[in-house]
Every structure is written in structure tokens, then in C-alpha cells.
């Protein structure tokens, strides 16, 4: 006997529909079984890892309740102390595993498999879409391949003029603060956005109208909202966030940010086609990175101290750095992306270009603003170290007011050590989080980190390990003397992360920091009355001082300390 279901006008259920619903039912069933198995495995393996006692359902969520960001930071450091290299925390059904040994960090960061960002990055999605920071899989891989070369040292050298001009502007802006105590982060944040507007989008102070200023303010405020969502746990739930004033504000800010990015892309494309019609074709990325015209003496070794410090981290930033494109051929990252999309080198849509430009604006902003602010505070405390920095600058520039060249930055070796040491003690990105797709066996113990867990690499803690640094809590730029770095574990210093997902802007950041800080320090002496042990740190997504980066400045007399 065979059963035939025929589609009749009144029956309401056709064979095809029945098959469809059965398949959906089966797939849902299988998915539930798979999830339960995965969750059971997560619980089983997760609970073998040491960590604070967890309550049913909510896990350790109460630990963070009612705590300020700096108290949470303090608590995390206490855990890292108590549980040594690996500790687990349950936030409801979510398993977080914190790793603070460079060997274990290397297993995760150097892998081509564990490259997916944790769910905590989702707050960036309305702003950055699927830009490089949060995308994964093939999209991330192909965009990384396209964007990494736009940070070629030749392109960066062409930004030296922009770095100088904006550094000079901020020196002028800071003048009214002479003799007062003020938060230097406000200034570092402003100048960083100005520099990014110019280097990422090609908008400078002369061409920038009100929308440039509004954009800069909106970027800063959006960073604030995302910080709030990280440490106020109720704001993590979209259902609650949508009913808060932050959501309305975010909506308005994103309109400003995306509005300007879209407008600039449209205008740039129009100009591109107008120029093309006139036969004016901008140089390609290939030409720019291979151009023989030269500003740098070919006999000068362009490798910096930082290049040597980071050489073991196996990223994709060490291209052939020999040639210099020169100022006249300066193109913003946006121009380079439009050009490569139009000439067929890269298959990238306008929408994707927008996501990448927005990502660069975010990643390049808060990180370098915090990094430079820490340096100015630390030098304000350690006057002897500041005097050495100034003496080095005096040796390069004398009492002249001339802007720095790329070659000058190669001679700023002590300043570079100061920057690296500051990034060691106060890494602007204090933790890096990844979601595991597969189980991982770590090096330092027998624990297996299960697929589905979020692994958090504790950069801040790794950087202060007595195993790798003599007197790890002491600010000592000599930690980066070549003789002290050459035999140190590469993953004991990872301010820019490492491996395939390392910071694509590392070289940009180091060059910019050297020009910005040297210009400020040639003009002002910084003084800080707050010792390091009184810094109140808050480490949500970017490490900052919640007590503010307070310093005083005095005009420089332009004589070396030994005079
Ligand atoms: C002192 C300054 C900086 C520090 C300490 C820093 C640090 C980092 C770190 C740790 C990551 C990895 C984040 C993670 O995996 O969660 C990262 C990624 C990234 N950074 Fe930076 N960064 C700095 C400056 C910059 C600048 C100036 C730019 C661009 C102009 C930039 C662009 C990016 C991008 C696009 C990514 C995502 C890379 C990817 O996932 O492939 N960063 N940065």
C-alpha cells in the first residue's frame, strides 16, 4: 500500500510543504542536540579550569555587579594573581578564560584558526559594520590582504607632513594651558582625530567644513557610548539599550559619522572619474610602494628599534620598506581603496570601503590618544627620563623649530624606548578576546579550552611578568635596549597583538607618536604631580586613567639639560 498525498485545493498541506517543514523540524532538532552537547562539553571542560565558585544560571555575573570600571580592572588583576596563568569565569552560560602567559598567548594569537573575535565586539557593529576589526572568515582575510599594503612604510612616510602640521597645531592649542593643571587626553584625542581625518579620508583643516568638526566630536562620543556598554552590564542587552538615551544619541552620532564617510566617498569617486576623463590617473598602490624617487638616504637603515622588537610576532607588516614616495604623491587610505577598486585590483564595494574607513577612524583614534597621554604623564613624573628625551631631541634639532623628517624619527631612539616602555606598562588595548571555534590545548598546563569559549589574553598582566622583566612595575625605558630585548619571549610584549590579526596600524602609530610627542616635548616640559601608584586605571576596551591624564606644561627654553 502506498500513501500518496496529493495537493488538493482544500487540503492546506502539500507534499512539498510537508517535506519542507519536516526538514526544518529535523534541522532544528539536530541543531538543539548539537548545542546541548556543545554546552555540556563547555561546562564539563570549563569547570575543570580553576576559577571563582560560580552560581547556577548566572555563574560569576554578580562579581561585576555595581562595580566601577576601575574596580573591575582591580578585581581581574587580583584573579590573575590568585589563579596564575589561567582562570575561568562564567557570565551566565558564557565561558571566559583568561590567559596571562606568553606561551599560551602565542598558541592563540599565532594561529590561523583562532582568528574570530569574541561576541563582545558586537557593540561596534552598528558603527563599523563588517570592517577589519570585527569581521571574520574570508571577508576578513581578503580585506586584510587589501588593507595591510596601504600601511606600507612608503605611504606612511608621505604622511610625515600631516603629522608635523597637526602636531604644531596642537602645540599652539595647548598654549592657554601653560601653568595650569589640565587633562592632556582632550588634546591628544582632538589632534588624533584631525590626523586621521586627513590620512584616512583626505580631509584637512583647510578643506574641512563644520562637518569635519561634527564628525570628530561624534567619533569621540561614539567611543564613549561603546565604553559604557562594556562596563554597565545592563546596557549589554540590546533590548534594554534600545530604550535608553544612549541609543537615541548613538542613532544621531552614526548619522553624522556615516553621513560624512558616505559624502566623502561619493565626492572622491566623482573627482576620480573627472580626473580619469581628463587623463589624470592617480598612482597605483603598487607604484607608490615601488617608486624609486627618494627622500630618504638609501644608506640609512630604515628599520627602527620597534621593527626589531616586533620582528618575531609573525605579522604581515614587514614589506620591502626601501623606497620613499615623497610628499607630493600623498594619498589618503580612502583614495587608495577607491583607486584599487576602480582599477580592478580589489573587489570592494563602496559600502565595504565605508566600513574600512570607519574602522581605521575608530582603531586609530582612542589607542594613540591614550598611548600619547600616558607617555606625557610618565615623562611628567620622571623628569630625569624627560631630560634624556629632550637632550636626544636637542641633538637632532638643536634650537631650531624645523619640522621633523622621517630620517629624524630614526634617530629618536631613546624616545622610541620611552614609547615602548609606556606601551608595556600601560598598553592601550589591555586585553584581546577571541571566540574559539575548536578546542585548544594550552602550553602551561593540561587544561583544554573548549570550542565555544571566549579566550581573553591579558596583555596588561603579561607585560608586567617578573619572569620577563626585572622590576616589572618600574618605568624603565632601558627594558628596550637591544641587549635586553634580543632574548626575551616575543609574546611577552604584545601591545599591538601579534600574528595574523595583529594591529595593521602599528607602524603608522609608532611614526605618528614619535612626531607628535617630539614636537610637543621640543616646545613644552610636562610636569605631573600624580605618582604612578595613584593612577586610577580603567580597562574596558581601551586602557585609560579614570582620574584623568592631568599634567602641567612649561614652555621649553630650548637648551639641553647639560647646558
Ligand atoms: C598605540 C596605538 C595602537 C595600539 C596599541 C593598537 C593596538 C591594536 C591591537 C591590540 C589590535 C588587535 C585587537 C584585537 O585583536 O582585539 C589592533 C587591531 C587593529 N588596529 Fe591597532 N593599535 C594602535 C593604533 C592603530 C592605528 C593608528 C590604526 C590605523 C590608523 C590601527 C588600526 C587597526 C586595525 C584596522 C585593526 C584590526 C586588524 C585586524 O583585525 O586585522 N591601530 N590594534
Per-residue pLDDT of the chain (563 residues; tens, 9 = 90+): 344 444 445 555 688 888 888 888 888 877 776 666 667 889 999 999 999 999 988 888 888 777 777 787 888 888 888 888 999 999 888 899 999 999 999 999 999 999 898 888 889 999 999 999 999 888 899 889 888 888 888 888 889 999 999 999 999 999 999 999 999 999 998 899 889 888 888 877 655 556 667 887 888 788 889 878 877 778 888 999 999 999 999 999 999 999 988 888 888 888 888 888 877 777 766 666 665 444 445 555 667 777 777 777 766 665 444 334 444 456 778 888 888 888 777 788 888 989 998 999 888 888 999 999 999 999 999 999 999 999 999 999 999 999 999 999 999 999 999 999 999 999 999 999 999 999 999 999 999 999 999 999 999 999 999 999 999 999 999 999 999 999 899 999 999 999 999 999 999 999 999 999 999 999 999 999 999 999 999 876 789 998 999 999 999 987 887 76
Q: Quick check: CB of 372 below 6 Å from ligand 1? A: no
Of 486, 498, 494, 418, whose CA–CA distance to 460 is shortest?
494
Half-sphere exposure of 346 (CA within 13 A, CB side): 25
C-alpha of residue 371 to centroid of ligand 1, in Å:
12
Given ligand 1 and candidates 149, 352, 503, 541, which is best to mutate, with the most ligand atoms within 8 Å of its CB? 503
Query: Across-strand partners of 457?
Result: 99, 432
Q: H helices of 467-551, where?
A: 482-485, 506-523
Q: Quick check: CB of 110 below 6 Å from ligand 1? A: no
C-alpha of residue 144 to centroid of ligand 1, in Å:
12
Q: Quick check: CB of 195 below 6 Å from ligand 1? A: no
**Which residue CA neighbors atom 24 of ligand 1 most closely?**
364
Instruction: Identify the pLDDT of residue 550.
Output: 97
Half-sphere exposure of 561 (CA within 13 A, CB side): 13
Q: Quick check: CB of 135 below 6 Å from ligand 1? A: no
Distance of CA 224 to the CA centre of its chain: 15
Instruction: Identify the pLDDT of residue 306.
Output: 78
Instruction: Identify the pLDDT of residue 210.
Output: 62
CA distance 396 to 399: 9
Given ligand 1 and candidates 140, 314, 367, 460, which is best to mutate, with the most ligand atoms within 8 Å of its CB? 367
Q: For this complex, say whether ipTM is above 0.95.
A: yes
* Entry pTM: 0.87
CA geometry: angle 506, 223, 98, nearest 5 deg: 65
CA distance 161 to 92: 51
Neighbours of 474 (CB within 10 A): 11
Contacting residues for 439 by C-beta, under 8 A, at least 6 apart: 45, 448, 449, 450, 451
Helix (H, G, I), strand (E, B) or coil at 141: helix
- Contact (CB, 8 A) for 50 and 88: yes
- Contact (CB, 8 A) for 159 and 184: no
Instruction: Identify the pLDDT of residue 325.
Output: 45
Nearest ligand 1 atom to the CA of 360 is 29
Instruction: Identify the pLDDT of residue 301.
Output: 63
Q: Quick check: CB of 499 below 6 Å from ligand 1? A: no
Instruction: Calculate helix-pair angle for 350-381, 413-425, nearest 10 degrees.
Output: 100
Q: Quick check: CB of 429 below 6 Å from ligand 1? A: yes
Nearest ligand 1 atom to the CA of 500 is 41
Half-sphere exposure of 249 (CA within 13 A, CB side): 15
Instruction: Calculate helix-pair angle for 506-523, 413-425, nearest 10 degrees.
Output: 110
C-alpha of residue 543 to centroid of ligand 1, in Å:
14
Instruction: Identify the pLDDT of residue 327.
Output: 47
Phi and psi at residue 370, in whole multiples of 5°?
-70, -45
CA distance 425 to 493: 10
**Which residue CA neighbors atom 21 of ligand 1 most closely?**
503
Instruction: Identify the pLDDT of residue 61.
Output: 83
Nearest ligand 1 atom to the CA of 429 is 10
Q: Quick check: CB of 144 below 6 Å from ligand 1? A: yes
Q: Encode burial over 407-420: b for 16+ CB neighbours within 10 A, e otherwise.
A: bbbbbbbbbbbbbb
Q: Quick check: CB of 358 below 6 Å from ligand 1? A: no
C-alpha of residue 193 to centroid of ligand 1, in Å:
15
CA distance 110 to 489: 14
Cell of 92: 551566565
Q: Quick check: CB of 363 below 6 Å from ligand 1? A: yes
- Contact (CB, 8 A) for 347 and 341: yes
Q: Quick check: CB of 368 below 6 Å from ligand 1? A: yes
CA distance 18 to 38: 30
Helix (H, G, I), strand (E, B) or coil at 543: strand
CA distance 506 to 429: 13
Q: Quick check: CB of 424 below 6 Å from ligand 1? A: no
Amino acid at each position: 500500500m502506498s500513501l500518496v498525498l496529493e495537493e488538493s485545493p482544500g487540503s492546506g498541506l502539500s507534499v512539498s510543504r510537508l517535506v519542507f517543514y519536516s526538514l526544518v523540524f529535523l534541522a532544528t532538532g539536530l541543531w538543539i542536540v548539537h548545542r546541548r552537547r556543545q554546552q555540556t562539553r563547555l561546562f564539563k571542560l570549563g569547570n575543570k579550569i580553576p576559577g571563582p565558585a560560580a552560581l547556577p544560571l548566572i555563574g560569576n555575573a554578580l562579581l561585576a555587579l555595581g562595580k566601577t570600571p576601575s574596580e573591575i580592572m582591580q578585581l581581574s588583576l587580583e584573579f590573575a594573581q590568585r589563579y596564575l596563568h589561567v582562570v575561568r569565569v562564567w557570565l551566565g552560560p558564557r565561558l571566559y578564560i583568561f590567559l596571562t602567559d606568553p606561551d599560551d598567548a602565542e598558541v592563540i594569537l599565532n594561529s590561523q584558526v583562532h582568528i574570530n573575535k569574541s561576541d563582545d565586539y558586537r557593540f561596534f557593529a552598528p558603527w563599523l559594520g563588517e570592517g577589519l576589526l570585527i569581521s571574520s572568515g574570508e571577508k576578513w582575510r581578503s580585506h586584510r590582504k587589501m588593507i595591510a599594503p596601504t600601511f606600507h612604510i612608503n605611504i606612511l612616510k608621505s604622511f610625515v607632513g600631516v603629522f608635523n602640521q597637526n602636531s604644531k597645531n596642537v602645540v599652539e592649542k595647548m598654549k592657554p594651558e601653560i601653568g595650569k593643571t589640565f587633562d592632556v587626553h582632550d588634546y591628544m584625542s582632538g589632534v588624533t582625530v584631525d590626523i586621521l581625518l586627513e590620512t584616512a579620508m583626505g580631509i584637512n583643516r583647510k578643506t574641512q567644513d563644520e562637518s569635519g568638526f561634527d564628525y570628530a566630536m561624534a567619533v569621540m562620543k561614539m567611543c564613549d557610548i561603546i565604553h559604557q556598554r562594556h562596563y554597565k552590564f545592563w546596557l549589554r542587552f540590546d533590548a534594554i539599550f534600545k530604550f535608553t538615551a544612549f541609543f537615541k544619541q548613538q542613532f544621531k552620532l552614526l548619522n553624522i559619522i556615516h553621513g560624512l564617510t558616505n559624502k566623502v566617498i561619493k565626492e572622491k569617486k566623482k573627482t576620480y572619474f573627472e580626473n580619469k576623463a581628463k587623463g589624470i590617473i592617480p598612482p597605483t598602490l603598487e607604484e607608490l610602494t615601488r617608486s624609486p624617487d627618494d627622500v630618504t638616504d638609501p644608506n640609512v637603515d630604515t628599520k627602527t628599534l620597534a621593527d626589531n622588537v616586533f620582528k618575531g610576532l609573525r605579522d604581515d607588516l614587514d614589506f620591502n620598506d626601501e623606497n620613499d614616495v615623497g610628499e607630493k604623491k600623498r594619498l589618503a587610505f580612502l583614495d587608495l581603496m577607491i583607486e584599487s577598486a576602480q582599477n580592478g585590483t580589489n573587489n570592494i564595494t563602496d559600502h565595504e570601503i565605508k566600513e574600512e574607513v570607519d574602522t581605521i577612524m575608530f582603531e586609530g583614534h582612542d589607542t594613540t590618544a591614550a598611548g600619547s597621554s600616558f607617555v606625557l604623564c610618565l615623562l611628567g613624573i620622571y623628569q630625569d627620563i624627560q631630560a634624556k628625551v629632550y637632550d636626544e631631541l636637542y641633538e637632532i634639532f638643536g634650537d631650531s623649530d624645523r619640522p621633523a623628517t622621517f630620517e629624524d624619527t630614526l634617530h629618536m631612539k631613546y624616545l622610541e624606548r620611552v614609547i615602548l616602555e609606556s606601551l608595556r606598562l600601560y598598553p592601550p588595548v589591555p586585553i584581546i578576546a577571541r571566540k574559539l571555534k575548536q578546542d585548544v590545548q594550552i602550553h602551561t598546563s593540561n587544561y583544554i579550552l573548549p570550542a565555544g569559549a571566549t579566550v581573553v589574553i591579558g596583555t596588561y598582566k603579561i607585560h608586567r611578568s617578573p619572569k620577563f622583566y626585572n622590576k616589572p612595575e618600574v618605568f624603565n625605558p632601558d627594558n628596550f635596549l637591544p641587549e635586553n630585548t634580543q632574548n626575551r619571549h616575543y609574546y611577552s610584549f604584545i601591545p599591538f597583538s601579534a600574528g595574523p590579526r595583529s594591529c595593521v596600524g602599528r607602524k603608522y602609530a609608532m611614526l605618528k607618536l614619535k612626531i607628535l610627542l617630539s614636537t610637543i616635548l621640543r616646545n613644552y616640559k610636562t610636569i605631573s604631580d600624580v605618582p604612578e601608584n595613584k593612577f586610577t586605571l580603567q580597562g574596558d576596551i581601551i586602557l585609560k586613567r579614570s582620574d584623568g591624564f592631568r599634567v602641567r606644561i612649561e614652555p621649553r627654553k630650548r637648551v639641553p639639560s647639560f647646558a
